[in-house]
Amino acid sequence: MTTELRSRDWFGPHDLNGFAARSWMKNQGIPARMFDGRPVIGICNTWSELTPCNAHLREIAEHVKRGVYEAGGFPVEFPVTSLGETLLRPTSMLLRNLVSMDVEESIRANPIDGVVLLCGCDKTTPALLMGAASCDLPTLVVSGGPMLTGRFRGQRLGSGTNVFSMSEDVRAGRMPVGDFLEAEACMSRSAGHCNTMGTASTMAGLVEALGMGLPGNAAIPAVDARRRVLAHDAGVRIVEMVAEDLRISRVLTRDAFENGIRVNAALGGSTNAVIHLLALAGRLDVPLALDDFDRLGHDTPLLVDLLPSGRFLMEDFFEAGGMPALLAELSDHLHRGALTVTGKTLGENVADAQCWDREVIRSVGQPVLRRAGITVLRGNLAPNGAVIKPSVASPHLLRHRGRALVFDSVEDLAARIDDPDLDVDENSVLVLRGAGPRGYPGMPEVGNLPLPKKLLAQGITDMVRISDARMSGTAYGTVVLHVAPESSAGGPLALVRTGDVIELDAQSRSLRVDLSDDELARRGQSLTPPSPVADSGYQRLYIDHVLQADRGADLDFLVGRRDAGVRRNNH
């Protein structure tokens, strides 16, 4: 071991502080030889019974520990705040930055030389990466893996995606409530995160594309024994990374982020990846802008035929070869020389990868779609940008002009959307505001607004929807998201009125309301900024310091490089 271990500042000295550090650790039955200069590996665990996707991570942690011990390291598991999509209110995104602070300070304040991040559910992956990036130690990610394929009455069920479709069927009277309730247990039939290409699967895939996980990390099912082997191997590898001083900043370079953007397009990945990658790059001072997602990803082909953009599920993706097969197929579009946590380049990692099912992972020559990346829209409704995911949109609506129907809040939407007297038709543009980072606060996944009940009954399945909110990666439809600036920050979305004509032209990257600059300015003069929805606590801190969506919605004081240095050494 040639690298100076930071843990020696705690466990090395033969003085009062060294005595205390070693002695109190020994009350757990730890032998003295664990303090002989071997690297201390932190296992940062988001296990929680309130985060169902991550409820098996305690077992995964035990396999990481085995690998650390095998390689001669000293593993120490520690908990951080966990974020589950299905239970947390008002939205898990509100707490992503808080968790990143928890992770950063937990790593910095403790005798840790390298860290393995255990994550799964949507926000746990970016939160842990952001916090670890701020410390810049050797870091490796082990994802929890997707759940098994859901099945209901002979049909596959995709997590999230089929929840949305079945709930609309119930509202339209096409599915009995009893059948809907019966499908619950059929959908979530094993441990693991969503088995569609939602945000959890997207971020697990991007971990591998960014070089932060071992090959195969993204798609091995949560209950597959090979997930445990990967965790064990990760424990071995992190000890080696400490010896090599292979820090997270050497892996997460500009080239790595460009790879991530292109892979997100090829996966049909979540729009949430845009916000998370922008925030992560900001922690490392890597230049990355919203327009990079359009410039780099727009012409990337969609190669993975997975819900919600396609037909299959994560178990099928794994059996087809998983991320190594996809990365190999896409290699001509990637920076193959980017360094990864294996110590090898991305290209070297996947040199021998093969695809076993060309229905699931298509070739570049026969893609699901020729151009599938996130499209960034601009115009007088979104001066700082908005995003749309063409692969899940209705092609005929990607160029559309219609009358706005405005909802001022999620509560207003819920109260009126099923009103039989609602003045709406299939050509209307549904607009939701007050759902951005500050306004909600936390930017919830409500951007895929439910369609009016009376239109569902007529067989309408999609409409143009625009908001300053996000949407679940499992969702679908012609949905414009992340409008910046948000309405609560004085963005033009606050000026739109029901009846105004809105024009979307995805091919021209345009989002406009048919109003003159003078009229928008006149309306702006009479606009009263909304009062913050919280006047104390973390929510007020968040409202006061959160950046807009086009900058990753991080807190302004968390942006930029830091390190793991401890400035003072007293208790």
Q: Locate the domains of the chain by residue range.
A: 1-37, 38-148+192-349, 151-189, 375-535+542-549
The rounded distance, in Å, linking the Cα atoms of 294 and 387 is 9
**Out of 61-65, 159-163, 466-470, which region has the weakest mean confidence (pLDDT)?**
159-163
Quote the pLDDT of residue 46: 98
Torsion, CA 68, CA 69, CA 74, CA 77, rounded to 10: 60
The rounded distance, in Å, linking the Cα atoms of 66 and 71 is 9
Q: Answer whether 21's CB lies under 8 Å from 10's CB.
A: yes
Would you state the structure tokens that stand for residue 99, as one six-digit string? 């968790």
Quote the pLDDT of residue 3: 65
Cis peptide before 13 (omega within 30 of 0): no
The rounded distance, in Å, linking the Cα atoms of 428 and 407 is 13
The rounded distance, in Å, linking the Cα atoms of 54 and 60 is 10
What's the mean pLDDT when you consider all of the chain?
95
**Helices 322-329 and 254-267 meet at what angle, rounded to 10?**
100
In the predicted model, is pLDDT for residue 1 greater than 80? no
Q: Can you tell me whether residue 132 is helix, strand or coil? A: helix
- Hey, what amino acid is at 27? N
The rounded distance, in Å, linking the Cα atoms of 495 and 204 is 38
Contacts of 115 (CB under 8 A, 6+ apart): 41, 42, 43, 44, 107, 132, 135, 137, 138, 139, 140, 238
Task: Find the mean pLDDT for residues 69-77.
Answer: 98
The rounded distance, in Å, linking the Cα atoms of 372 and 374 is 7
Cis peptide before 308 (omega within 30 of 0): yes
Task: Find the mean pLDDT for residues 58-77.
Answer: 98
CATH class of domain segment(s) 38-148+192-349: alpha beta
In the predicted model, is pLDDT for residue 63 greater than 90? yes
How many other β-carbons are positioned within 10 Å of the β-carbon of residue 267? 29
What is the sign of the dihedral through the CA atoms of 469, 472, 473 and 479?
negative
Would you state the structure tokens that stand for residue 160, as one six-digit string? 């999230």
Quote the pLDDT of residue 171: 86
The rounded distance, in Å, linking the Cα atoms of 36 and 39 is 9
In the predicted model, is pLDDT for residue 571 greater than 70? no
The rounded distance, in Å, linking the Cα atoms of 255 and 287 is 11
Quote the pLDDT of residue 91: 95
CATH fold of 375-535+542-549, please?
Glucose Oxidase; domain 1 (3.50.30)
Residues listed for the chain:
571
Q: Identify which has the larger pLDDT, 5 or 162.
A: 5
In the predicted model, is pLDDT for residue 322 greater than 60? yes
Q: Identify which has the larger pLDDT, 150 or 439.
A: 439
pTM, rounded to two decimals: 0.95
Closest CA to 373 of 298, 308, 292: 298
Would you state the structure tokens that stand for residue 429, as one six-digit string? 């543009």
- Hey, what amino acid is at 515? L
Give the Å distances, CA to CA, from 290 to 278, 374, 502: 7, 10, 23
Contacts of 412 (CB under 8 A, 6+ apart): none
What is the sign of the dihedral through the CA atoms of 165, 167, 172 and 176?
positive
Contacts of 154 (CB under 8 A, 6+ apart): none
Contacts of 359 (CB under 8 A, 6+ apart): 305, 312, 320
The rounded distance, in Å, linking the Cα atoms of 535 and 314 is 43
| DSSP bridge pairs for 399 | 505
Given pLDDT bands bounded at 50, 70 and 90, which one contains residue 410?
Answer: very high
Give the HSE-up count for residue 388: Cα atoms under 13 Å, Cβ half-sphere: 26
